[in-house]
Each structure stands twice: as C-alpha cells, then as structure tokens.
Structure 1
Amino acid sequence: MLRIAVVGSGPSGCYTAQSLVQLGQGVHVDVLDRLPCPYGLVRYGVAPDHEKIKSLQNALRMVLEHERVRFLGAVPVGPGGVSCARLRELYHAVVYCVGAAADRRLGIPGEDLPGSWSATEFVSWYSAHPDAVDGEFVRGARSAVVIGVGNVAVDVARMLVRGTAELSGTDIPQAALDTLAAGRVADVHMVGRRGPSQARFTTKELRELGALPDTAVLVEPAELALDPAYRDPSGLPGAQRRNVEVLRGWAGRPAPEAARRLRVRFFLRPVELTADADGHVGAVRFERTRPDGSGGVTGTGRYEEMRAGLVLRSVGYRGVPLEGLPFDAASGTVPHRAGRVLRAGAVAPGEYVAGWIKRGPTGVIGTNRPCAKETVTSLLADTPTLLRRDVPACDPLGALRAEGVEPVEWAGWRAIERAEAELGASLGRRVVKLPDWESLLAAARTATD
C-alpha cells in the first residue's frame, strides 16, 4: 500500500487525490488542510453570487468521499503545526498543493492607509474565511477604486454594487450582508494600467457587469481607442477579441440612468494613495500611460486623481515559502521537474508539488486538473523507490493525535455543513457560512460517525 499525503484541499489538491486513486492501485491518500473546511478557493474565493462555479464543490466532494481518500482538516503544516520533515516520516510521499497565499503589492506611497485593502482581504471577509479581518470596508464610502482588471477585480467591483435582494439567497455571512446592504457606494472605478485587449478578465464575467440591476457600466471611448488592437481586434485571440467587442458595445450606447455607476478605465497607473483630513484614504493619483509598442506601457507625465473612500488592490498573487521546502523567490514557486521537487537542482524523492505553488498563479480552476495529473504521473513512476522507504505501519492519524493535532475528519465537516444550514434557516435564508474558527470547530465537535 502506497500512503500519500496531499497538503491542501482546494481544486489542485482534490484533483491530485483523484488522479492518485484513479491511476494508482492500492494508493491511499490523506488530504490535509489547515482549515477545518475543504475546497480551498472554491469555498473561500469564488464570489457568493457565482453559485454555478461554487457547485464544483459537489464534484470535489465525490473525490474526498472516495473510499481510499480521507480528509483531515485543521492540520497546519509548517511552523506551529506538523513539519514537512515529519510528514515525510509518516508517508511514502507528500504532494504540496498550497496555492499562492500572498498578494502582490503596488509598492507606492499611501498603499497602507486605512481604507486601502487587498482584494483578497475583501474576498475573505465576504466569503467568511475564519482568518478574515473584521474590517470596516465600506465605512460610509460613496466611491471606491478597484485597481486591476482581472476576474478578482470584476468580482469585488460587482459585490460592491450588488443589492441585498441578489445576495440574501447566497451563503454570504450575515454580517457582511448587513454591511453591504447599509453601504452607500454609488461610484466604483475599476482601473487597469494597460489597455482593453490586455485585460485579464474573462468575457463571461465582464458581460455580467452589464446585467447588474440599477447599475450603469461606463467606459471612456477615448481611452479604449488608445489601444491599437481595440481599433482592429480581428487579430486578437478569441477571448480578448470578445472582451473588446463587449467594451465596444458599452462605448457605443448612451449612458443609462441608474442609482450606481461602475466605470471601467484603462491606461492609468497608480502612483500614490492620498489621505483625507481624517487620515483615511481619500483619493488615488494615477499617471496616464500609453502603449510602448512591445506589449507594455510607458508613462506620459500626465496625471489624474480619483476620489475614493475605499481602495481595493487586485494586482495578483504569489506563493510564499513553506518551511522545509526549497523556494524560488523570483517566481514565487517551488522548483520542480514535472512536479518532482528539486533540491539544489536534484530531484528529492517523495516530495512533489501541484497547482499554483508549482506553476504560479495562472489559469482557471480547470487548469489544475492536467497540472495535477502530470505530478501524479511522476509520483506513480517513482513507486518502486517510494515503497522502499521505511514508514510506520500504523495509521498516521494516530501519530498526529499523539503529537497534539486533532484533525477535523469528514464527519466533522458534515457537522459544519449542518450547522450552516441551521443558521441559514434561523435567519430566513438558505445556507449561511459560519464566519470564525470558534463556531466552525464547535460545530465540528458535534459530529457523530
């Protein structure tokens, strides 16, 4: 029997476990997660109003309920938890699927002013992540600036203008729903430093902005025209061409009357966040950019200021080092060869990576499937070597418990699900997420096998 630990229960971890039990005979997999809940960014990153995408949890559930797969939540790996070295003692192999947990920074003055948040912090708050800060995100703000033009930027901009009626049927925590319902944000600016043909959002998410109730989506035709590919999009790849076509449609129509306005801006690079009289963020100063002919942009020396009582920074993610594993700081990934971890350029038998920590924060959820399969193919090819390793014959769960770790098993997760359904019913809603460690672990303790 080959005993494998997969660290991380998001899509990359679940797809890795799935490939292991599908392609490997007699392989048993423990999927470990620092959180008591599975599914990673599908639970804590996908916006609550995107229920179709969130339904992917049903497919991931089938993986974690496989007879040769076991979910062990609330098991931190690294400092303060189980070390990578200890996992290597307990399992024939370990696959790290830990994602890219850190936000990229703008590196400009005023970035840390009160009222300036990373988009990840905002997403964690409205997604009820137990580590989320209890921030006063909207704080009476009338205007907000979202820096970035990827799908996360689209998500947070959309959530700022969503009405209570559309969100109350989702699993958004009650405190976030109440705060957003009481918010007064009427103007949202979503701003990119490059042009519309280089924006990272997908067309489906972009189109969705145009269907928001009582919200006018506005674009600046003159800004769009700065992009040569906007004038003639025929040579663009399909996804970018469709994005440009959507923006063309918005540019060519009269501005509709609406209570809220969502402005999509391009060729503006943030250079400074400035404070209001209370020391809170009050505005963002941008430099106008123009294409440099090589796919990038260059500054023009002309500036524009946008008032903003809230700034959400959505400029990408990067991986963080995990104690005990090599790390390439330049790429934010673990060095590897087809998923095999490299130490000083040589393969480290029994250590593997998949997902963003392997390839960087690229692709969509489905991209994790072939990425995981490549890693598993490498791992299974190493089976003769792995089986020669001397690992304890006893169940690793017993060893973890002996060292003070008390995992939340699948029954505990199911108890959390029941508690969230009961909370929703008590509020006259459907399922409502439990928002903190205390309530999650208390619910898990009610589990019965």
Structure 2
Amino acid sequence: MSDRPLSVAVIGAGPAGIYAADILSKSDIKASIDLYERLPAPFGLVRYGVAPDHPRIKQIIVALYKILQRGDIRLIGNVTVGEDITIEEMQEHYDAIIIATGADRDAPLDIPGVDLEGCYGAADFVFWYDGHPDYPREWPLDATEVAVIGAGNVALDVARMLAKHPDDLLVTEIPENVEKGLRESRVTDVHVFARRGPAQVKFTPLELRELGKVPDVDVIVYEEDFDFDDGSQEAINTSNQTKQIVTTLTDWVMREEEFTASRRIHLHMMQAPVEILGTDRVEGVRMERTELTGDGSVRGTGNYIDYPVQAVYRAVGYFSSPITGLPFDDVRGVVPNVEGRVIVPGGDHLPGVYATGWIKRGPVGLIGSTKSDARETITHLVDDAKAGKLERADDFATGGEAMMALLDDRGVRYTTWEGWEVLEQFEKTLGETQGRERIKVVERDTMTAVSRGEEHDGKLY
C-alpha cells in the first residue's frame, strides 16, 4: 500500500452508511471518507422513517450526530448518485465505494384491488408525516374506517398516527402541514391485520405497550383471533420478547372494561388479505381466516370476512431502489453481494464496490444488526485494501475535491455538515416560537437554501 489514504465514498447517510464510515475511520488503514446523501439532511430513516412521537428511538440521531461532528468524515448532501453524478465517475475518483442507500419504498402486495384510489403504501404515509422533502405536502384523510395490513412496528406506527389526536403530537417535531392535515382527519376506527397468531407478530414489546397508552384511543383485541400451536409455544418458551408480546395481548383480550374512547385501534390476527374491494375507490377489504399448521406458519381455511373500510395502508415491508450503474436483484430488492462484496452476474466481485445495511441484506433487523452488517463489510474492504486490490496510482485524484468540483461545474447545490448544523438550528428556532423542541423544514429548496445561506422565495437565509 502507498502512503496516501484510501479514498472511499459511502453512498447513503443513514445509520448503515454512518456506521460503515465510522468503523472504517477507526480501522488500521488510513482512509479519506466522503459520505454522500440524496437529501439535504443526514440520518436517513431515523429522521424520515421513525414516527415523531418516538423520541427514544430518535436518540439514535445523537449517536450518529457525534460521529459526523468529529469532522473526519465529510458529508456531501443533496446529491443523487446515478443522476447528479454517475457510479462510473465515482469509480474514477475513489478507490472504493460503499452502497448504503437503505430501503425507500413499499414492498409489493400482490392482491386484487391494490391499485384502487384509497390504497396507500405505509412508507409513503410515513414519509408524509415525517416531512420527507420529496413527498406531497398534503395527504387524504377522509376515511372514517381504515385497514392497515401488516404485523410489524411500521403497521403500529401507521395505526397510532392515524388514531392519535393532533394535540397529543404537538410536543413532537411534526411539520405544520402534517399537524393541519391530521386535524382534518375523519378517522374513528383503524383495523390492523396480522396473517399469523399472537406468538408470530413482529411488533416489539415496547411499541405494543405504548399503543395501549395513547390518550382517548381504545385498543381492541378479539378472543377468536387467539390460537397457539407447538411452534407458537416454542417461540414463547425461547424468546422473552415473544413472551412479553403474548402477555400484553392476552391481558388486553381479558379486559372487561367498556370501550369509551372516541377512536379505536382493532388488532386482528389469524387473517390474511385476499382482495381490496371497490369499483373506483376502496370500499372494503376481504380477509381469509387462517389456521396454524403446527410449526408457527399458517394456511388458509376458505372462510372469508369482509370489513367495510374506505382506505387501506400496506405495511408489508420496505423495498430498496436500484442505483443506475450497479447490479440489482429485482426480486429480493437488494444489490447482489457476498458478505458485502458486490457481485456481478456470474458471481465475480465488482472490484472496489461494497454494500451494507438494508440494500445489502433486505429490510430486516434493528440498529444492532446494522452495526454488525457494517463491521462485516468493512472487514472485507480492509482485507482487500491490504491485499492491494483497491490501490490506484499515487497521483490518483482523491475523491472529494474532484467530485465537488464536478458538482460545482454542474450547478448541483450540494450541502455539507456545516450546512446541516445551520439547518438544525433553524428548525430548533422555529420550534422555540411555539414552545417545541423543533419544527421540521419540509421543502427541499428551503432546506437547501438554509443550509447554503442562499436566497429563496425572497428571503436570504
């Protein structure tokens, strides 16, 4: 290896990308690291995928903030790789590229009726209420009865945000347009559907317990949806998390008090979606009753139940998007790789290209998995560097300066870490005027102008 630092680009400034950059920066090889982000602000799904009433989860941002605040990892935001600059151009100026773009769209639900008006992807709704700059400022909330299909934390987030009263969200950082939209909501009942039983749902215990604490919202669980087989009992006996979830659900179903809240969340289990009903727009959802087969999986029974709803939210998982210039598995929704080394058709490693996070393994696992993922990927990158597989000529231009010059030439208004600190303070100042910690700036052009100290809509930031 030469004495010059390895020049590395990380694409995606969410937890996966930041952890990978951090682990590389602490490895036993010298590296110059540039962190590219499509949005003007960093932190990915922690900023734009976590419900605003979950401040504990958002504390992850504090840890990520400390990593980037050190200054040894350069943030280059508001840059879309594949459009503003190409993978080929990056390969000319970096020794290695790490793909950490995560999962940014809804996984498909292949049943009739998903194209009806009133059927939405949960990810789209999450991005709306989290103030994602690339999503509409308004959201249709004219349904009184809503179905949420899915049995994970995103389904619970969507149900809770639909049912929760806006006044109870004013302590959070929800944008003003979201508060206004939620105040106009007509929802009274949200039905959450899980295909399997109480021992198989994918909620975390904390998320589930918090659902029962939402003011003026009753959580209703149905006794006929409870069933356990040998696989269920094994899961309860071997997983404390599963045991806690089953205990909470059982406690709820055994309650005898009357339901008096103005809004209700109904948790249905042992029901699989068959069809979304309606002619021009959603009028209902048809579910098939399922039964456990012994190992915790289920099969259909041929018994159907129709629920009258006017909107359906698909919360069946996230799905990654391809990057122009890189291979992509359209079925699994990942960049093909072996332990983080990106491969081309035929199985050969694409030299100098790596993946980490959900774009590497699919949208499963929490922050702990993301860290171990990054560690595996960086271990292979470091091994390849030591083996001389990543080096270029000594006069090879280091990435950041060359790429920022190219972005300047193209008029791309990229943002920096210093710009993010300015934007963050701006959001906190907006919040102070209403006694809140922060109010998110939503519009991309405004975010960029604030970050760069530019003029926008007649204002100089």
1:116 to 103, 115, 119: 119
| Partner SS, residue 376 of structure 1 | helix
Q: C-alpha offsets along residues 170-201 of structure 1, whole Å, 9 cap, x if unaligned?
A: 11111111221232312111101111111111
1:251 to 253, 258, 261: 253
TM-score by length of 1: 0.93
Query: Using the alignment, how far apart are the partners of 2:357 and 2:398 within structure 1?
Result: 30
| Partner SS, residue 224 of structure 2 | helix
Shift of 1:102: 2.7
Shift of 1:245: 1.0
| Partner SS, residue 244 of structure 1 | helix
Moved more, 403-412 or 374-383: 403-412
Shift of 1:91: 0.9
> Which residue number in structure 1 is paired with residue 397 of structure 2?
392
* Structure 2: stretches of 5+ with no match in the other structure: 455-459
> Which residue number in structure 2 is paired with residue 168 of structure 1?
170
1:100 matched to 2:103? The reply is yes
Seq. identity, %: 40
Shift of 1:409: 0.9
> Which residue number in structure 2 is paired with residue 53 of structure 1?
57
State the AA in 2 paired with 1:423: L
* Alpha carbons 1:226, 1:290 under 8 Å: kept: no
1:382 matched to 2:384? The reply is yes
Shift of 1:294: 4.4
> Which residue number in structure 1 is paired with residue 336 of structure 2?
335
Moved more, 377-386 or 141-150: 377-386
Query: Using the alignment, how far apart are the partners of 2:350 and 2:109 within structure 1?
Result: 35
> Which residue number in structure 1 is paired with residue 294 of structure 2?
293
Shift of 1:231: 7.2
TM-score by length of 2: 0.91
| Partner SS, residue 386 of structure 1 | coil
Shift of 1:262: 1.1
1:415 to 422, 442, 446: 422
What is the RMSD computed on CA atoms of the aligned residues? 2.0
* Alpha carbons 1:230, 1:244 under 8 Å: kept: no
* Alpha carbons 2:427, 2:438 under 8 Å: kept: yes
Query: Using the alignment, how far apart are the partners of 1:212 and 1:231 within structure 2?
Result: 30
2:196 to 181, 194, 197: 194
Query: Using the alignment, how far apart are the partners of 1:415 and 1:186 within structure 2?
Result: 40
1:14 to 18, 21, 25: 18
Shift of 1:153: 0.3
Q: C-alpha offsets along residues 359-408 of structure 1, whole Å, 9 cap, x if unaligned?
A: 11110122111110111111111223322356315723223323443310
* Alpha carbons 2:127, 2:135 under 8 Å: kept: yes
Shift of 1:204: 0.8
Shift of 1:230: 6.0
State the AA in 2 paired with 1:262: I
Query: Using the alignment, how far apart are the partners of 2:206 and 2:383 within structure 1?
Result: 39
Between the two proteins, the alignment pairs up a number of residues equal to 444
> Which residue number in structure 2 is paired with residue 81 of structure 1?
84
Query: Using the alignment, how far apart are the partners of 2:74 and 2:153 within structure 1?
Result: 32
* Alpha carbons 1:137, 1:310 under 8 Å: kept: no
Query: Using the alignment, how far apart are the partners of 1:432 and 1:249 within structure 2?
Result: 37
Query: Using the alignment, how far apart are the partners of 2:301 and 2:19 within structure 1?
Result: 46
Q: C-alpha offsets along residues 90-114 of structure 1, whole Å, 9 cap, x if unaligned?
A: 1111100011223112212221222
* Alpha carbons 1:218, 1:255 under 8 Å: kept: no
Query: Using the alignment, how far apart are the partners of 1:94 and 1:341 within structure 2?
Result: 10
Q: 1:404 to 1:217 in 2, by over 3 A?
A: same
* Structure 1: stretches of 5+ with no match in the other structure: none
Q: 1:403 to 1:380 in 2, by over 3 A?
A: farther
Query: Using the alignment, how far apart are the partners of 2:234 and 2:11 within structure 1?
Result: 46
Q: C-alpha offsets along residues 334-355 of structure 1, whole Å, 9 cap, x if unaligned?
A: 2222211112311222111000
Query: Using the alignment, how far apart are the partners of 1:393 and 1:292 within structure 2?
Result: 58
* Alpha carbons 1:215, 1:259 under 8 Å: kept: yes
